[in-house]
Amino acid sequence: GIQVEQSPPDLILQEGANSTLRCNFSDSVNNLQWFHQNPWGQLINLFYIPSGTKQNGRLSATTVATERYSLLYISSSQTTDSGVYFCAAPGGYQKVTFGTGTKLQVIP
Amino acid sequence: EAGVAQSPRYKIIEKRQSVAFWCNPISGHATLYWYQQILGQGPKLLIQFQNNGVVDDSQLPKDRFSAERLKGVDSTLKIQPAKLEDSAVYLCASSLDLEVSYGYTFGSGTRLTVV
């Protein structure tokens, strides 16, 4: 099945700093999603982004499908951005595979 | 719109006991998923339903886990008998259709501790 790798595994940021999270996938995909899991465990869908770039406030994402990677940008980070960020890609018949996540801690 | 509802939020059981989790998806969502998330890992798909039919259960440990989605709406996931390694958060998600392009919505999960 498809392999989804994320980097870095852990990230500590000072509030206000910017960061880039990366997701590499082993096979071509027709969609990719980014999720944020908050410290209480709730998974929130951030972006559905099979290709191109999307922006939502301080967050933006870019997927280069031909090169099998996606990037999530966080600008002017806030403590509420803390949590784990997952990318997820379909492998097989719409069976979505999650990456191992990037754990982000934003300190004031 | 109401989100994906799950219950209970927490459950502690002894090994070899049985347990059941309930999920009510967003109204009109045909596709329902159960995921297992072990601490420090990403969610792993256990079973995927389209209406009341199973699309994928290849990663469901069928000797102890079972799931059903009668009438194509809410769903129940059961573990019998539970093992220590079943301690995890069990997440339910739904989407409008099999086309994942519509995006997932997750419930808050059930945290299971097996002692």
pLDDT in tens, A11-40: 999 999 999 999 999 887 777 899 999 988
Most confident among A15-19, A45-49, A98-102, B93-97 (mean pLDDT): A15-19
pLDDT-based confidence at residue A87 (cuts at 50, 70, 90): very high
What is the rounded distance in angstroms from the CA atom of residue A43 to the CA atom of residue B20?
21
Q: Is A22 exposed, middle or buried (0-12, 13-18, 19+ CB in 10 A)?
A: middle
Name the phi and psi angles at A67, rounded to 5.
-105, 5
pLDDT at position B46 is 95
Q: What percent of chain B has pLDDT over 70?
A: 94
**Summary mean pLDDT of chain B:** 92
pLDDT at position B100 is 57
Distance from CA of A93 to the nearest CA of B (A): 8
Please report which helix (H) or strand (E) contains residue B84, including its range. none
Q: Where are the beta strands (DSSP E) in chain B?
A: 5-7, 10-13, 19-24, 31-37, 44-50, 53-56, 65-68, 75-79, 88-95, 105-106, 110-114
First to last CA, chain A: 40
Residue A104 has pLDDT above 80, yes or no: yes
The average pLDDT across B81-94 equals 96
Which chain A residues are within 8 Å of B91, Cβ to Cβ? 43
**Summary mean pLDDT of chain A:** 91
Please report which helix (H) or strand (E) contains residue A64, including its range. strand A59-64
In the 8-state DSSP scheme, what is residue B40?
A: T
- Taking an 8 Å cut-off on Cβ atoms, the answer to whether A41 and B43 are in contact is no
pLDDT at position A94 is 57
pLDDT-based confidence at residue B2 (cuts at 50, 70, 90): confident
What is the rounded distance in angstroms from the CA atom of residue B77 to the CA atom of residue B85?
16
pLDDT at position A29 is 78
Of residues B75 and A42, which shows the higher confidence score? B75
pLDDT at position B52 is 87
Identify residues of A whose CB sits under 8 angstroms from chain B CBs.
30-31, 33, 35, 40-45, 48, 50, 86, 88, 90, 92-101
The average pLDDT across B76-97 equals 94
User: b vs e for A64-103, b when ≥16 Cβ sit within 10 Å of the residue's Cβ?
Assistant: ebeebbbbbebeebeeebbbbbbbbbbbeebbbbbbbbbb
Angle formed at CA B22 by CA B19 and CA B24, multiple of 5 degrees: 175
**B17 at interface of A, judged by CB pairs closer than 8 A:** no
